[in-house]
Amino acid sequence: MYAFFLGLIKTAFPYFVSILAIIMVIYILVLYKSELQDKIDKLRVNVVAKDTSLAQDEKIQKIISTILPNSLINEDSTVDPQMSKAPASNVNVNIQSTTVLSTDTKEIKDAQTQVNNIVFTNNLLFVAIVPLYITGFALYLTSKLKKYKSRFSFFTFFFGKITCSKSKK
């Protein structure tokens, strides 16, 4: 990583700024990706919880259908309180959680698609950095080679000098 930044500061200024801008975009995308990943994890926990709740509702429905005659059960899978001699608050099974479950799985798929798009974009941006880095470095190196000609030193080029070359003694 140190070598990357050491080489990065030895690139032509417009390339340096472009590379830093791309790195910032990559960082923001990584942060957004982690937020989406957290959202996916929370949705998966909700789906599992609702799935278990749905399974319990189905078990209750089976128990009701075995205990009560079919004439007492409405089309929406609830017990008709007027036809039953039991109090109305005894049993009320609702199977609407299946629509919530499918909505949550759709949200998970959408978020996972966004995560995949972010990963693809990050890969493209990393690939875009490489030619910018090489081109900027080559331009900066050639400008210093032309400027210093025979006095050019690769050691000084990479590690610099403590004093400025334009300072007066």
pTM comes to: 0.60
The pLDDT value recorded for residue 162 is: 75
Residues sharing a CB contact under 8 Å with residue 19, sequence separation 6 or more, in sequence order: 8, 11, 129, 132, 133, 136
User: What is the per-residue pLDDT for 95?
Assistant: 45
Cα(15)–Cα(141) distance, integer angstroms: 13
pLDDT at 92: 46
Q: Which residues of the chain have pLDDT under 50?
A: 71, 73, 77, 79-80, 83-98
